[in-house]
Structure 1
Amino acid sequence: MTQEEILDSLPSHLRPFVKTQRYEDYTPRDQAVWRFVMKHLTRQLADTAHPVYLEGLRRTGIALDHIPSIEEMNDCLAELGWRAVVVDGFIPPAIFMEFQALRVLVIALDMRSVDHIFYTPAPDIVHESAGHAPFIIDIDYAEFLQRFGEVGMKAIATREDLEQYEAIRKLSILKECPDSTPDSIAAAEAELERLAVADNASPSEAALLTRLHWWTVEYGLVGDPEEYRIFGAGLLSSLGESTHCLDDARVRKLPLTVDAVLTPYDITREQPQLFVTKSCKHLSQVLEEFAESMCYRKGGAASLRTAIAAGSICTARYDSGMQVSGQFCEVLCDAVGNATYLRTSGPTQLAFKDTEIYGHGVDYHAEGFGSPIGHLKDFSRCLSEYTIDELKAHAIEIGKRVRLEYLSGITVDGVLKTVFRQDNRNLVLSFEDCRVSDLSGRVLFDPAWGSYDLAVGSAVTSVYGGVADREKLQLYKPTPRTETIRAVHNTQLMDCYTLVARLAAAGAAAGDDARDTLLAILEQHPDEWLLLSEMLAVADAPLHERIRTQLRNLGTRRPEIAGLIDLALAG
C-alpha cells in the first residue's frame, strides 16, 4: 500500500499525526549513518539478540545498506497483518497506543545525527524500524504488542502527564539539534526534572503502564537474569546500550514482575537496571496482571474518583452500555460506597458503543452533565431493559409528568419529552421542567437550567482515559506544539558522501582518477570521521593506511568518538 492509501485507511483523528516520508530528504550522510549503525549493530547482536532478530529484519523490509522506505516496509508487513506510518518524533502516548492496537507500527521519520550514533535522545528511523519491526514476525509477540495497545488506550492520564510528554518531546528535539544552545537544553532538562519529580511521587495509570512498556517493549531482555538475550527495541537500536547492557556489574538484571512499574526511567540516559522476561506468554501475563488493577476493569466510585483526581477527559461506561465522556468533577455515593450520581464540568459527550448519540455532543452539553446511577424503587431490572409498554405500566410515558425515585433517595421529577432507544434499550430520557434532588434536599438540577437529560444505568462498570467516540471528540488538538528542528547541511560535504557511496557500490578499488578525488576529499574534510570510514572500503593500500592513521589521530584528539573510530577501524 502507498502512504496515501494507508493514511486513508486510518481513523480520521489519527491522521494529523501521520507525516509523509520524502525519501529524497535523507542526506547522503544520513544513509552513511544508517549503514554504519546497521553494519555494527547486526554484528554486535548476532549472538546477543533473540534469534528472531536477524530474520525479522529481512522479513520486515529492513536492509542493511539503505534507510528503508515506508513502502518497502509495508509491502512486507502486510504479509504479517501489520502496517507502518511515519511520524515526527514523540507522539502522545495514548495516540501511540491506539496505533499499536490497530496493528500499525509508528516509525519516527528522522535519522539520528552523526553526533548521536551511539545513543540518540530522540526517536529515529533506526530505533523504530530496526528496533521494533523485527519481532513482529513472532506471532505471540505481535499479539502481545497489539494487546498492550488495547490496554494502553484505556489508561487514565493526568494533565501533568501531557505536560511531561511535551517536555520530553521538547528536550529530545533540542538535544538532537546541533544549533541548540547549552542554556536552552539546560532549561528544558530542568523543566522535565520538575515534572518527573511530581510524576514519580504519584504516577497515574498511564505513567505506570508507560513504565511497563519501557521495561518490556523498549528495554526488555528474555531468558533469565543469568542467561538472557536482547529483544527490547531501545537496546536493539543502540550501539552503546546493546553492549553496555551486557555488563552485569554496571547493569543489574531483575526478573520481570508487575513490580517493574514501580521503577521510573530517564529516556535521555542509559539505564542502570533491566528486567528479564521468561517468554512472550510471561509478558502477556504481567500485562494482564496490571490491567486487572486499572479503572477500566474495576469501574465503580473509586474509579470515578481516580478520573476526577486526574483532571483529564475520561469516560464512564454504565452497565446499560451508555458512555459519558468529559472531565469528571464529582461523584456522590451511598453509605456502602456505591456511586449514585456523577457530574462533569465543561464539554461532555454521550455515546453508545463508542458512537456519539445524535444531539448529545459537546456543543449541546457544553457546560457539563450530571445524572443519577442506580436502580429505581420497585423496579426489578435496570431501567434500560424495560420496553415502552412496561414503562407505561410504571407511569413513565412521553408527554406526561414522570417521577423517578432511585434507591439512593435521588428523585427526578419532570415532563418526559423523549426516550432515546438503541439495541432495544432505553439509554437517554430527556425532560422539561425537571428538578433533580437528593435526600438532603440538595438540588442537582433546577428547571430554570433548561432541559434535563438522564443517562440510564444502574452501575458504572468501567472508567477509562479518553473519550468514547474519538472521531467526534479528539483529545489532542492541535498536534504537538513543538516540531523537529532540521539542521542545514553542507552541500559540498554531502556530495562527497555521495561520490564515496557510488565508488563503494561499484565494488572495486579506486583507480587513479578516483584516488585523486579521494585525496582531495581527505584534504577538505580531515575531521569527518564517518566519511573517512566509508572511504576505507574504496581506497587502495597506500591511501587506506593514510586514512586509518588519520582516524586514529582523530580518536586521540576527540575521545568522545574514539569508540566509533575503533568500530570503523575494525572493519
Structure 2
Amino acid sequence: MTAETHVFERPPEGAAEDWSIPQDWDAYTTEDHETWDILFKRQVQQLPGRASQAFLDGIDVLNLSKPGIPDFIELSERLMDATGWKVIAVPGLVPDDVFFDHLANRRFVAGNFIRRREQLDYLQEPDVFHDVFGHVPMLANPVFADYMAAYGRGGLRALKYDSLDHLARLYWYTVEFGLIEEADGLRIYGSGIVSSHGESVFSLDDPSPNRIGFDMKRVMQTNYRIDDFQQVYFVIPSYEELLRVTVETDFAPLYKELETSCDYAPDDIAEGDRVITRGTQAYARERAAASPA
C-alpha cells in the first residue's frame, strides 16, 4: 500500500466497514506459493550488505510454519508480540481515512493477491509480496513501528487540510523508497526498494539518482515517479531521528507554507540540500546551464 490519495464511496461487496476482507489463505494455488518462494529467495539472497540491519533482523518474523505466502493470522500473532501490530487483508487501495485509521491503530493493510509469474520484476499495484515482504520486517522494529503509527495519526489530522498530496510524499520517500546511513554506508529500508530485485541494486549502485539528506519540508516539496526507478532518494540518519522529527513537527504551519512553496522535480538539487551523491542527470543539467551559449 502507498499513501497516494484516493476517493471511494463505500467498501466493495464482501468487505467489512473498515474495508478488511478474509485473506483466504487456503485459496492460494501451488503456483501462487511458488511465486512467493521465488521472490522471497532471490531477495533474501540479494539484500545482505544492501538492506538496513533492522530490515534483515525483521525478516525472521516472516519465517512461519507454512510454506509459501504467509498466513496473516499467524503473522499477526508474531508481529503483535514484537510491536503490537497486525496485518489485515484488503481488496486493494483503500480510502485515505481508512488507511490512516488502520495505521494509527497499528493495523497494516495488505493486498491478498500475488503477481503472475511473468510479473516478477514489476507490478504497478502492490501485491502481497510487496506489502508483506516489503513492509512487515520493518514493522518488527519498535522505533519504525512507532513511526508508522505516528504517520497514521498525522494523516487523520491532515484530512482537514488540503495537503494530503504533500503528506503522501513523506510516505513515498520514507516508507516506500527510503535509505538510511548506517555504520557501513547507505542501506535500504523502503519497502518499494527491498521488494524490487532491480531497484535494490539501482538505489545504491547506479550513478544517475541523487541521494540527499532527509529534510521534512524538502521531502514534502518533491514530486515522485511511479513508472520507473526513482531519481532521488532521501537518506535518514536513524529511525530515532525520523520518528523524532515526525512527532515534533507542527504540520499545520508547514502545510500552510507548502501552499506557496515551489515543488521540485525528482532529479532537482535544491539550495541547502546535503548531497550525499549527486546523480549524473542533475550534474549534466547543471553543466549545461553553466556553459556559455
TM, length-normalised to structure 2: 0.75
Matched, 1:107 2:114: no
Would you say the 8 A contact 2:150–2:247 is kept in 1?
A: no
Pairwise CA RMSD: 2.7
Which residue in the other structure is 2:27 paired with?
25
In the alignment, the residues of structure 1 paired with residue 80 and residue 159 of structure 2 have an alpha-carbon distance, to the nearest angstrom, of 32
Which residue in the other structure is 1:230 paired with?
188
- The residue identity in structure 2 corresponding to 1:71 is I
Structure 1 segments, 4+ long, off by >3 Å, are 13-16, 60-65
Would you say the 8 A contact 1:97–1:152 is kept in 2?
A: yes
The secondary structure found in structure 1 opposite 2:220 is: helix
- The residue identity in structure 1 corresponding to 2:117 is V
Which residue in the other structure is 2:275 paired with?
none
Would you say the 8 A contact 1:140–1:281 is kept in 2?
A: yes
In the alignment, the residues of structure 1 paired with residue 65 and residue 198 of structure 2 have an alpha-carbon distance, to the nearest angstrom, of 21
Would you say the 8 A contact 1:14–1:95 is kept in 2?
A: no
The secondary structure found in structure 2 opposite 1:245 is: helix
Would you say the 8 A contact 2:90–2:111 is kept in 1?
A: yes
The change in CA–CA distance for 1:64 and 1:233 in structure 2 (over 3 A counts) is: farther
1:305-324 equivalences under 5 Å are: none
Structure 2 spans left out of the alignment, 5+ residues: 1-14, 260-293
The counterpart of 1:214, out of the listed 157, 172, 192, is 172
Matched, 1:294 2:252: yes
Note the C-alpha offset of 1:34. 0.7
Percent identity of paired positions between Structure 1 and Structure 2: 28
The counterpart of 1:267, out of the listed 218, 222, 226, is 226
In the alignment, the residues of structure 1 paired with residue 62 and residue 115 of structure 2 have an alpha-carbon distance, to the nearest angstrom, of 21
1:438-449 equivalences under 5 Å are: none
In the alignment, the residues of structure 1 paired with residue 185 and residue 42 of structure 2 have an alpha-carbon distance, to the nearest angstrom, of 23
Would you say the 8 A contact 1:49–1:231 is kept in 2?
A: yes
- The residue identity in structure 2 corresponding to 1:124 is D
In the alignment, the residues of structure 2 paired with residue 100 and residue 63 of structure 1 have an alpha-carbon distance, to the nearest angstrom, of 27
Matched, 1:48 2:50: yes
The change in CA–CA distance for 1:233 and 1:149 in structure 2 (over 3 A counts) is: same
Which residue in the other structure is 2:131 paired with?
128
Would you say the 8 A contact 2:97–2:159 is kept in 1?
A: no
Note the C-alpha offset of 1:62. 5.3
The change in CA–CA distance for 1:97 and 1:268 in structure 2 (over 3 A counts) is: farther
The counterpart of 1:281, out of the listed 224, 240, 243, is 240
Which residue in the other structure is 1:205 paired with?
163
1:176-196 alpha-carbon deviations (Å, 9 max, x no partner): xxxxxxxxxxxxxxxxxxxxx
In the alignment, the residues of structure 2 paired with residue 78 and residue 262 of structure 1 have an alpha-carbon distance, to the nearest angstrom, of 35
- The residue identity in structure 2 corresponding to 1:149 is G
Note the C-alpha offset of 1:239. 1.2
Note the C-alpha offset of 1:126. 0.8
Matched, 1:244 2:202: yes
The secondary structure found in structure 1 opposite 2:205 is: coil
Would you say the 8 A contact 1:57–1:63 is kept in 2?
A: no
TM, length-normalised to structure 1: 0.40
In the alignment, the residues of structure 2 paired with residue 37 and residue 156 of structure 1 have an alpha-carbon distance, to the nearest angstrom, of 36
More strand per residue? 1
- The residue identity in structure 1 corresponding to 2:140 is I
In the alignment, the residues of structure 2 paired with residue 157 and residue 268 of structure 1 have an alpha-carbon distance, to the nearest angstrom, of 30
Which residue in the other structure is 1:492 paired with?
none
Would you say the 8 A contact 1:221–1:229 is kept in 2?
A: yes
- The residue identity in structure 1 corresponding to 2:150 is R
Note the C-alpha offset of 1:230. 0.6
In the alignment, the residues of structure 2 paired with residue 62 and residue 236 of structure 1 have an alpha-carbon distance, to the nearest angstrom, of 20
The change in CA–CA distance for 1:223 and 1:39 in structure 2 (over 3 A counts) is: same
In the alignment, the residues of structure 2 paired with residue 144 and residue 206 of structure 1 have an alpha-carbon distance, to the nearest angstrom, of 18
In the alignment, the residues of structure 2 paired with residue 251 and residue 93 of structure 1 have an alpha-carbon distance, to the nearest angstrom, of 30
Note the C-alpha offset of 1:78. 2.1
Which residue in the other structure is 2:73 paired with?
71
Which residue in the other structure is 2:284 paired with?
none
The secondary structure found in structure 2 opposite 1:120 is: coil
In the alignment, the residues of structure 2 paired with residue 102 and residue 117 of structure 1 have an alpha-carbon distance, to the nearest angstrom, of 32
The change in CA–CA distance for 1:283 and 1:234 in structure 2 (over 3 A counts) is: same
1:31-430 equivalences under 5 Å are: 31-61=33-63, 65-80=67-82, 81-156=84-159, 204-223=162-181, 227-258=185-216, 259-288=218-247, 291-294=249-252
In the alignment, the residues of structure 1 paired with residue 65 and residue 237 of structure 2 have an alpha-carbon distance, to the nearest angstrom, of 30
Would you say the 8 A contact 1:222–1:278 is kept in 2?
A: yes
Note the C-alpha offset of 1:55. 2.7
1:104-127 alpha-carbon deviations (Å, 9 max, x no partner): 111111101222211211111111
Would you say the 8 A contact 1:155–1:205 is kept in 2?
A: yes
Would you say the 8 A contact 2:100–2:152 is kept in 1?
A: yes
Note the C-alpha offset of 1:157. 6.7
The change in CA–CA distance for 1:99 and 1:14 in structure 2 (over 3 A counts) is: farther
Which residue in the other structure is 1:344 paired with?
none
The secondary structure found in structure 2 opposite 1:110 is: coil
In the alignment, the residues of structure 2 paired with residue 28 and residue 268 of structure 1 have an alpha-carbon distance, to the nearest angstrom, of 30
In the alignment, the residues of structure 2 paired with residue 64 and residue 35 of structure 1 have an alpha-carbon distance, to the nearest angstrom, of 12
Would you say the 8 A contact 2:134–2:192 is kept in 1?
A: yes
Note the C-alpha offset of 1:36. 0.8
Larger C-alpha radius of gyration, 1 or 2? Answer: 1
